Amino acid sequence: MTITLSESIDAIRSRAPLVPTIALVLGSGLGDFGDHLSNTISIGAGEIPHYPMSSVSGHAGRILFGTLEDGGRKTTQLVVFQGRVHYYECSDLGKVVYPIRVARALGATTLFVTNAAGGVNRLFTPGDLMFIRDYINMTGENPLIGLKGAVGQRIRPAFDPELLAIARRTALNHAIPTQDGVYCWTKGPTYETAAEIRMMAGAGADAVGMSTVPEVIAASQLGMRTLGISCITNMATGLSKEKLSHAEVTETANTVKANFTRLLTEILFALS
Ligand code: HPA
């Protein structure tokens, strides 16, 4: 562990001397899920040395420790990241994946990532929840570039098929409608052009967004198993008459909150 990371870990452990097994990253407008935790310990990003801060609205920048409890059920210890830092905020992928390194150093072996994304698949509707089966990295960037040791490892990042199967089964068992698809990562901060969306659709993308992929790459290198869900907050450029805006993204995220909460809760119980 680097000195920087161990200083962050020491600060977190002094507040929350707990070993989480699952790390959950909550994307744009989805941070309220953290309110459902029990036995919560909340730590602000600003209280942790070296921890990156997000400047985007809808990203609280807090780490929560807690469990979900429902009747007699209780999940394993969770660490929840409310909000994330995007590449377009800092052009530093080291900062973007720093929370993943923190999660692993705290003991988490499973990463559960969520995000808001634009629908590229014409059969999708805003409000759909999509299990991320695979991704396309449209940026040409990679958080492992220059990382000592990682180059020779020849990592093949992927979402964990077993976790995906559990998640699909859970959705089915609880009659929560979901989609399945490929997430395409772009740098942002601009939205895409209609021509870019046509290209992405042709390349096999079902959704597009500005996050998640670097986190999954970092998690793979750290040996973590990863599961991902996109909340389709809008149809991508050219696929809808609505004018795209961050307000629409957070608005839709709000309307799917109940379904999103139920799906995440049941999956977290199934994984515990
Ligand atoms: N494009 C890129 N990122 C996004 C979108 C989109 O349409 N919606 C939410 N995040």
Task: State the pLDDT at residue 58.
Answer: 58
Number of domains in the chain: 1
Q: What is the CATH number of the domain that holds 204?
A: 3.40.50.1580
List pLDDT tens digits, range 7-22: 999 999 999 999 999 9
Instruction: List all residues 6 or more positions away from 62 whose beta carbon is below 8 Å from its beta carbon.
Output: 34, 42, 43, 44, 45, 81, 82, 83
Lowest-confidence region among 52-66, 126-140, 175-189: 52-66
**Angle of the 246-255 helix axis to the 257-271 helix axis, nearest 10:** 60
| pLDDT tier, 61 (very low <50, low <70, confident <90, very high otherwise) | confident
Distance from residue 7's CA to the centre of ligand 1 (Å): 34
Residue 36 known to be catalytic: no
Active-site position among 45, 51, 60, 86 = 86
Instruction: Using a pLDDT cut of 70, give the percent of the chain over it.
Output: 98
**Over the stretch 222-247, which tens digit does the pLDDT of each residue have?**
999 999 999 999 999 999 987 778 78
Q: What is the rounded distance in angstroms from the CA atom of residue 63 to the CA atom of residue 114? A: 15
Predicted local distance difference test score (pLDDT) of residue 59: 58
- The tens digit of pLDDT for each residue in 146-179 reads 888 777 778 888 999 999 999 999 999 999 999 9
pLDDT tens string 251-265: 787 788 889 999 999
Which residue segment(s) compose the domain that 99 sits in?
Answer: 2-271
Q: Does residue 60 carry a pLDDT above 70?
A: no
Average pLDDT score, the chain? 93
Distance CA 184, CA 120 (A): 9
Q: Which pTM does this prediction carry? A: 0.95
Whether residue 234 lies in the annotated active site: yes
Which one is catalytic: 142, 246, 248, 254? 246
Is the model's pLDDT at 55 over the cut of 80?
Answer: no
* pLDDT value, residue 243: 78
Q: Is the pLDDT confidence value at 28 over 90? A: no
Of ligand 1's listed atoms, the one at least distance from the Cα of 186 is 2
CA angle, 218 then 229 then 99, to 5°: 35
Segment 206-221 shows an average pLDDT of 97
